[in-house]
A and B are shown apart, each in its own frame.
Chain A
């Protein structure tokens, strides 16, 4: 199984949308290398004949009646938002201005 290096961590941090300083990347790469090393044998434990468990207690599909339940009002939904306008979440520009 692959090792994890500083470039990997920088790439993963970009994917996860967390800005990291050079010092943070160095430290995180070192710590994660130790953790990954200690968990990598997991792929050697179970053979192809063992099914995966995604959920501890198996349940069949859970449905409810298609009727309006408890909902938040528009005001309540926006209460914790950093910014809002016209009853909507207001966000910074999605694309770089040309």
Chain B
């Protein structure tokens, strides 16, 4: 049954509907794969075997009884461990939440359950989603299936690696500055950050509330569209949730048409700092889109050069405030120093023991940026830059229907390479951050392998707010053209991962 793990969610759904395979067989095949390779990859922090098989068995019974089922019923999925789930631990990759279980489900998890998609488990991430490599997880890094010595991106390295290693056909991620798209780029998978507010954030543990967004992770553009339609839509539990309907995303992906569309190349997101092999693949993608009838135009977004600076003020400011709730009182870790300490000393000791270095850095930075005397100069100025970035996008979208850039400036770097240099780590997100600052949707898809290292390169598409469908429409065309040149999906070129009997 190992063949089942290589199928897309779309094909699995059709085989399930035709009763060629059972949901239990599909779910078991993925659990077996997790057992065989996750010792090497470490994509999962928790494997949800019993519940996943139970849901799968229920789907099989409902199908046998002739009940109406959601098209993705029985297609298994992995969930980033930043999203709360009843009946499974949620750690956010942090010691401070180790062993904690949420008393409620995130809205997106409720929607997965309503569609009867078996949840395979919870995937690894940088602590509280703070990082670009998954190395800041308190429970050890995830490894890139293309090269086990390299990072799978972050913060959602677990979800991307799980999908790339065929441990799951689909996963959920969260994207605050690129945490869905950059892992997609370096693992040769697809990841989408929807329009801000397009998918409910209720039950996603907050990092930076004005930037955070849940989105789909998959191996194909169509599969992301299928999942996006499951999780999208208005949720009264999230006051920032948009009331717009989700839109015909699957239809857009199936249609896949770029003829006559204007695709804008962002001048500022290429050149210096971008690896040669990344730029070569990027220009190939532009040629392919041109050959399919798209008009390639150049657009300039001059204020994008300040996006990283503004992001590293807004994000830590909001994070320092959001993480104040981890005080050893209502949930999670409590460390009690010797003697008869007051609550203040307990908080100091609990947060010292429970948070890792990167989380502490960002809390201190955010506390600094928000403190009296600095607020206007730092947080206030960063919010003005945010306006300038939105204006750049507005001007660019007058000249182009979608924008395009490399997703990340480089391919996957080695584990440990940038761990001691926070600033170098932050630069990974230079091309993905502008979308979060403006709330616009973005999609990353595989663009091929860089010549110098044979590692995946990501191509990023960006659309105006509420126009997520355009990403799928263009993404599906580019994916099809690229796969034609490769003779199949990019992941077919990935080295085999040695299966071991041990694992989980």
| Chain A residues close to B by CB (< 8 Å) | 1-2, 4, 8-9, 12-20, 24, 28, 31-32, 34-36, 38-39, 41-43, 45-46, 50-57, 59, 62, 64, 70, 72, 76-77, 79-83, 89, 91-97
Contact = CB atoms under 8 A, between A and B. Distances in A.
Interface in B319-333: 320, 324, 327-333
Interface string B302-324: 01001001101100000010001
Contact of A32 (B101, B343, B365): B365
A42 B309 contact: yes
A80 B371 CA distance: 32
B334 A82 contact: yes
B465 A57 contact: yes
B439 A16 contact: no
17 contacts: A16-B367, A18-B348, A28-B360, A35-B312, A35-B365, A39-B310, A39-B313, A45-B303, A45-B306, A46-B388, A55-B240, A56-B436, A57-B465, A72-B103, A76-B104, A80-B103, A91-B343
B501 interface: no
B382 A42 contact: yes
Nearest to A48: B384
A81 B365 CA distance: 28
B384 A50 contact: yes
B341 A92 contact: yes
Contacts of B240: 55, 57, 59
B383 interface: yes
Contacts of B340: 93, 97
A57 B196 contact: yes
Nearest to A96: B342
Enumerate the 4 nearest inter-chain pairs by beta-carbon distance, A residue then B residue, closest first: A56-B439, A46-B384, A82-B334, A52-B383
B95 interface: no
Nearest to B342: A93
Interface in B79-123: 100-104
B342 A42 contact: no
Given A16-B367, A82-B334, A57 B377 contact: no
A50 B306 CA distance: 15
Interface string B137-180: 00000000000000000000000000000000000000000000
A13 B352 CA distance: 10
Contacts of B374: 2
Most buried by B among A12, A13, A46, A77: A46
